[in-house]
Chains A and B, each alone.
Chain A
Amino acid sequence: MKKSLFRLIDRFELLICYVLCFGFNIMFDYVKSLSIDSYLLQTFLKQFYDYQAVIIFLLTFIVIIFHYQMLNRKKVEVYCKILVGDTIRFIIIRYIFECLVILGIAFVISMIITVILGISLVDNIYLSCIFVVYILISSRMVIKFENF
């Protein structure tokens, strides 16, 4: 924990970003599963869940923004850590591990909600895969900071 690149506020921000994406996804799935008899409401909502995949994908961009801006702010910190004996390999492993733990927490929260609402979990699993890819790509950014 002490050697982590994350501060408490960063962890909190990342968790909120994940929860927001999962939350929107659950909301779409839940609304789809409802039987709405109002035509007006149905057409209004249809215009959104027709584009569910696109909207959710666009929302995942907030996670990219988070990774990008956080790592950019930590440039000097990474360099200083290496100066005092840390290795880039361990920094990356710790970073990936911590991101995965936060993702895990968000996923468990979303899983509990989907079970309570009785909707499919498949979409959220796909979404988690996208986030894992983002984590792996962003970890490559850390390597660049080795030579400040």
Chain B
Amino acid sequence: MIVFSVLLLLFLSNYLVFIAAQSTVSTFQGYNEMKHLNQAGNYIANLDPDSDMNMGKIDKNDTQNVYDYLKNNNIRYALFTDGFIVSLPNAYDMEVSFAYLNEEYYKLNKQFEISQGKDLYFDYCFDNNDIEIPVLIGKGLSKTYPLGSTIKVEDPMLQKQITLKVQGILKPNVYHSNLYSLSSKQYYNFSVVIPVNEAFLNNSSVGLQLQGLFDIILLQTSKNKIEGLHKVIQDKLGLKFNFYTQEENFEYFNKYYFSSLKIITVITVILTLILTCITIWSSLASIRLMIKDFTINLFVGLSYLKLRKIFYDYYGVLFFINLIVLFIITAYSRYGTWIRKDASFSTFGLFGVIGMDWLALLAVLFFDIIIGIIIVEIMLWRIKKVPISLGVLQ
């Protein structure tokens, strides 16, 4: 009974440490990714939350005007948009999503690393009759579409039949973090990354042009040009955009994420302390019950050294069970995305468990070793406190 309770209490604190470690690692991964985008002189667009949104009213001419303004004023921009679902047969029967990016974004964000093939190039020939575009594909698609193969598909943004040539295969578990919630990310194991050049953008539907504007990053530009763009977007699209500078973004990250991380750390430390105290209390309760047996055993030749070893073995087994259960829970949630065919969250690894999870498990292991030492030493101290004769009489 007490063993079971101690096991559960330890599991609760392990779960707590695991979640805190995982959130922290995930946020830092997102933060590192953002550091590439958020450089001095860059402005990141963000739709004002109070802005009226009437997508139906916006047509291609309106968005084209905005891109023309960018071109006429020599404003370089990094464009990235994804999540356009396309039905593309593949070995895992997953939904495939298309991600579009332009050359500036590809150079700026170094997330899309390849394991095989060559880097993307953007100066492909965009001929209206026969369009062949070099693309990068996720690892999950590489079995069905090996390097050099071609895929004929109707592109959702161009709304016409095009040929995609597999130029490279992405490394497993390439991710992209949400700009405004760094800990949430999606994976590109079942995505096709399509390079967008000027001709592509001009020929694409309003969808790509508009979606592209939502997270557009304007590179090395000035406040005046940004104000002009702000006006153009307001006039043509009726949308209010905010353009944040590097300092404003870092200020936001510091205020928003580091205060959240601090709160998470404080909660974790307090709860872990309480749970550890309860665990120690439960262990001492079991010592209180068994003190007679311990003293009799010590009386007939059990050494403290051996007793310590028995305790360490015992807690080692408890922690091992906890780690296995944590691994099973993690694997279940990761593998669940494969069963649900959730392409954006499916990851490669042992049962889908990825580096971030292993790091969190390692943090739990480290925590367990410390807690284990504390509990065992306190228990031994409690046993040593009882004079042998008194222990037997009790």
Query: Which residues of B have CB within 8 Å of A39?
Result: 180-181, 183-184
Query: Which residues of B have CB within 8 Å of A20?
Result: 274, 278
Q: Are B20 and A44 in contact (CB under 8 A)?
A: yes
Q: Are A65 and B256 in contact (CB under 8 A)?
A: no
Q: How far is the CB of B72 from chain A (nearest CB, A)?
A: 37
B13-41 to A contact mask, C-beta < 8 Å, 1/0? 00000011001000100000000000000
Q: Are A72 and B8 in contact (CB under 8 A)?
A: no
Interface residue from A44, A62, A73 paired with B5 (Cβ < 8 Å): A62
User: Which residue of A has the minimal Cβ distance to B2?
Assistant: A65
Q: Are A64 and B23 in contact (CB under 8 A)?
A: no
Q: In the docked arrangement, what's the CA distance between A39 and B256, Å?
A: 9
Does A116 touch B at the CB level, under 8 Å? no
Q: Are A69 and B288 in contact (CB under 8 A)?
A: yes
Does B1 touch A at the CB level, under 8 Å? yes
Q: Are A69 and B12 in contact (CB under 8 A)?
A: no
Q: In the docked arrangement, what's the CA distance between A44 and B183, Å?
A: 10
Q: Are A38 and B256 in contact (CB under 8 A)?
A: yes
Q: In the docked arrangement, what's the CA distance between A5 and B218, Å?
A: 76
- Interface residues in A46-77 (C-beta closer than 8 Å to B): 47, 55, 58-59, 61-62, 64-66, 68-69, 72-73
Given contacts A20-B278, A68-B1, A40 and B261 within 8 Å (CB-CB):
yes
Does A147 touch B at the CB level, under 8 Å? no
Q: How far is the CB of A8 from chain B (nearest CB, A)?
A: 16
Question: Range of interface residues on chain A?
Answer: 20 to 34
Q: In the docked arrangement, what's the CA distance between A20 and B271, Å?
A: 11
Q: In the docked arrangement, what's the CA distance between A47 and B289, Å?
A: 36
Given contacts A58-B12, A65-B5, A43 and B184 within 8 Å (CB-CB):
yes
User: Which residue of A has the minimal Cβ distance to B182?
Assistant: A40
Q: In the docked arrangement, what's the CA distance between A73 and B263, Å?
A: 42
Interface residue SS majority, chain B = helix
Q: How far is the CB of A31 from chain B (nearest CB, A)?
A: 9
Given contacts A40-B181, A40-B182, A61-B5, A72 and B260 within 8 Å (CB-CB):
no
Interface residue from B23, B256, B282 paired with A62 (Cβ < 8 Å): B282
Q: Are A65 and B285 in contact (CB under 8 A)?
A: yes
Does A41 touch B at the CB level, under 8 Å? yes
Between B180, B182, B281, the greatest number of chain A beta carbons within 10 A of the residue's beta carbon is seen for B281
- Interface residues in A62-107 (C-beta closer than 8 Å to B): 62, 64-66, 68-69, 72-73
Between B4, B5, B23, B289, the greatest number of chain A beta carbons within 10 A of the residue's beta carbon is seen for B5
- Interface residues in B169-184 (C-beta closer than 8 Å to A): 180-184
Q: How far is the CB of A65 from chain B (nearest CB, A)?
A: 5
Q: Given A39-B180, A62-B282, A69-B288, 14 more contacts at CB 8 Å?
A: A40-B23, A40-B27, A40-B183, A40-B256, A41-B260, A43-B23, A44-B20, A44-B264, A44-B267, A58-B12, A59-B12, A61-B4, A61-B8, A69-B286
Q: In the docked arrangement, what's the CA distance between A62 and B184, Å?
A: 36
Q: In the docked arrangement, what's the CA distance between A38 and B258, Å?
A: 11
Q: In the docked arrangement, what's the CA distance between A38 and B278, Å?
A: 31
Does B257 touch A at the CB level, under 8 Å? yes
Given contacts A44-B19, A73-B289, A38 and B1 within 8 Å (CB-CB):
no
Query: Which residues of A have CB within 8 Å of B267?
Result: 44
Q: Are A40 and B286 in contact (CB under 8 A)?
A: no
Q: Are A64 and B5 in contact (CB under 8 A)?
A: yes
Between B8, B184, B259, B274, the greatest number of chain A beta carbons within 10 A of the residue's beta carbon is seen for B8
Between B182, B256, B285, the greatest number of chain A beta carbons within 10 A of the residue's beta carbon is seen for B285
| 8 A-B pairs with C-beta separation under 8 A | A40-B182, A40-B257, A40-B260, A44-B264, A61-B5, A65-B1, A65-B282, A69-B288
- Interface residues in A5-26 (C-beta closer than 8 Å to B): 13, 20
Q: Are A41 and B263 in contact (CB under 8 A)?
A: yes
Between A13, A58, A69, the greatest number of chain B beta carbons within 10 A of the residue's beta carbon is seen for A69
